[in-house]
Chains A and B, each alone.
Chain A
């Protein structure tokens, strides 16, 4: 049985339904990331799990125990807040020990637990300081220490990295990942950053407007997005969405001006497409490359000449945006690729990686 179960959670605030029947399960030791744009209800859901915002209906079960009506302190959870929420009037040591103190743990044991956590997080030298004397990264670490010291059943993280600068964010992200690997803690993590979701999660839940769009491993979410929203939201640069039409023997892309290219139906499409059906073919930028770096093992590929409009070198790769017949798309070429806007460039489309969506429903059909 799953360790954390979220069953049909609904939440209404005023007349607005924020969560519209959420069902999620997480195994013990799993790292669940709730990801979605602002206002999708991910923080509301996290607060419902924490018990800070009771749901209108539905149940939350932790380790077989229904906790829906339990006070936050009785759920055996710990939360790391976006603003860290360190008590400004207490030292780091007192901050970390506060929860233990509230639970009546005696002083010697508290000191021992704090020392252990401080060692894990390498904040021993900060114990006597106050939060105002700490840097952002240090505060973040203390906030994690405060959660860790309790050894709770579930850790909740509410956008913990969004107040850090870019470099520190990557560092702390790796630390959180290492922490999860070392402690095998069960974690629910909220973010709007799809890279955080991809790097940290064992399971990603993509939310939009209070509805679960897709649940899956990072690879599933990335490679087999359930619908156009997930496909567009996850990944940077975003997935290319190419309009196409089913014709005999394949899908015609770039058809509007007459010089369309017919490509083979990607192998993932199992049900035959009726001829003339409009489809959207989704291709990640890394599935569109230059001739030199194209995947030679690809079963289905197409070479397409298009005019280059933008060239974006990132150092490790060069993103080349091409335009053909009114449709733009971005491909990832080698860093050494020499090309100027205005030139014609030969793109190689790896159609093994293509996913096909129904433009009406937005759902993936293959």
Chain B
């Protein structure tokens, strides 16, 4: 039920398949990209927030493909991110791989891990699968803690591209932005390709898809692999951005945050993961700024500053999802419809 302006007829399949299908969308997207390109000038010291949003949006994009489009719930996404971060660290620290090679190699490694983890999904389904991935999360965490020799952190060298060393948040932002746009564009294109259609068929009814001739094992494993590949890229970026990684950063909480992000953003939308990541991180950052302000006015709250943030975060999520269970993407779509038709109801 898309709403489009009068006189906008589609006369070719190319037009029908277009992701940005009206002039308004194309203009809006161009302005969004321009705004993001100029972000170092308007974001000021909050550029780190955009970096975080971008990195997590890349990871969430992968989970969106897996959960939203292929229907496989995963509670182990942060484990893939951890594998990505640590292998990236290993590649660039011990083997001295340049970043431009380490990134794809990392992605390939996590892709393979994803395929292996995805294999049981042929037999284990739904929430049982979610728990199996949760087990994978704990096992990975455990293995990494023991492989890195306890609770210490691992240092990662900065990114060097052809003699240019990335040092500041602003420089790093452009690397994140390029990867972010590429990852988002790849996901948006994937879901309208043959593979994406197969994913959706698997999500809607896997046996029916199999009867129609889809190789279930191939597509489920592929979905897990792609999701893990995305998480690996996110992990690699995260490692090079923070320069100091610990297993704590990729614990079960991070995995659940990923699921929260894609649900908040909107499960079956190409925009969902990006909106979700932006919402979650902006909210938590906003609360970090807001809480001291409240404390300055009411010093009595001093003891409960940290829990207060947790409470407000939880309440916001609950309110948002009760208001619109389809997430932000659905909310925006409804808003657009309302604006299009205003002042009439339909």
Do A and B originate from a single complex?
no
